[in-house]
Amino acid sequence: MKETVKHCVIVGLGNPGKKYEATRHNIGFMVVKELASKLGWRLKEETQFSAYCAHGQVGDTICRLLLPTTYMNNSGQAVRRYLDYYQLGPENVIVVTDDVALPFGEMRLRTMGSAGGHNGLKSVEVHLGTRHYIRLRMGVGAPDKLGSDDDALADYVLSGFSGNEAKTLPHFVEKGAHVLWQLLHEAVTWVMNEVNGKGPKVKQKPPQEGQENKNESKQEKSV
């Protein structure tokens, strides 16, 4: 394999099951599923990893998609198991997660940071042993009067989107998937500048569904 080929493991955070699939906490799942659809890949359950997985080559990047089925609080277990199997490290990881600190529709891309109270990120951090991994935060907003009530926060992120939010949710999810697509083609610093409002316009458009499908894949109530 050429030295120019890089590896990327994109992890969507969320809770498994139909009960949670349309909730705010599952927007990480939504974005990764959208990317899989755009690439024409099929996510398949891999019980050895406790996750739905897909993989293929996109340009010079071996891209692996991972949706843990461990429930949010234990997401890091699936990530660690997957990385160990393929002998990859935190430098290969991109995590997509919901963020109540950002207004709905806003995104932030970082190469490191704290978990910010997010139990899924806490689990990933514990099992990776570092805060140094790329994370795409998808803003889902917060209740007007949240305070420090953990139960209120749990109820909020495990609830569905409002009517107005639901109308624009598909576009927001598509924007998130496009950021991931950019990360497969561009330097992370360039994409960070664009996503975080400091860079140029998009250089190129993402592929239509199935356009870059070189290899078909294998593919909690918690906060």
Q: Which residues are catalytic?
A: 25
The one-character DSSP state at 160 is: B
Place of tokens 């190129």: 204
The one-character DSSP state at 41 is: -
Q: Say if CB 52 and CB 42 are below 8 A apart.
A: no
Closest among 111, 120, 94 to 223, alpha carbons compared: 120
SS3 category, 99: strand
Q: Say if CB 57 and CB 63 are below 8 A apart.
A: yes
